[in-house]
């Protein structure tokens, strides 16, 4: 009976320990954690990330701009 109790306690602790790293995993890339993508979308554009890591903003007027450059040119408020 004592062995079953010890085994149950060990399994319970192992189960709790295996979930801790999952909670600390960094967020995947999304527009929500990218200021350039966020600014693009607030301007009515559609953000697209290229294979080489550069991000582009397709603006409503038909132009496509580098999202980081668009953010740099943002007027100060």
3-state helix/strand/coil string of 2-49: HHHHHHHHHHHHHHHHHHHHHHCCCCCCCHHHCHHHHHHHHCCCEEEE
Per-residue pLDDT for the chain (77 aa), expressed as one digit of tens each? Answer: 777 776 677 666 666 655 444 444 444 455 557 999 999 999 999 999 988 888 999 999 999 999 999 999 988 76
Contact 45, 60 (CB under 8 A): yes
């Amino acid at each position: 009976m004592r062995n079953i109790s010890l085994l149950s306690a060990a399994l319970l602790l192992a189960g709790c320990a295996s979930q801790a790293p999952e909670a600390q995993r960094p967020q995947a890339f999304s527009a929500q954690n990218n200021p350039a993508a966020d600014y693009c979308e607030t301007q009515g554009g559609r953000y697209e990330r290229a294979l080489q890591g550069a991000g582009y903003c397709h603006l409503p007027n038909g132009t496509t701009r580098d999202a980081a450059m668009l953010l740099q040119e943002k007027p100060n408020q």
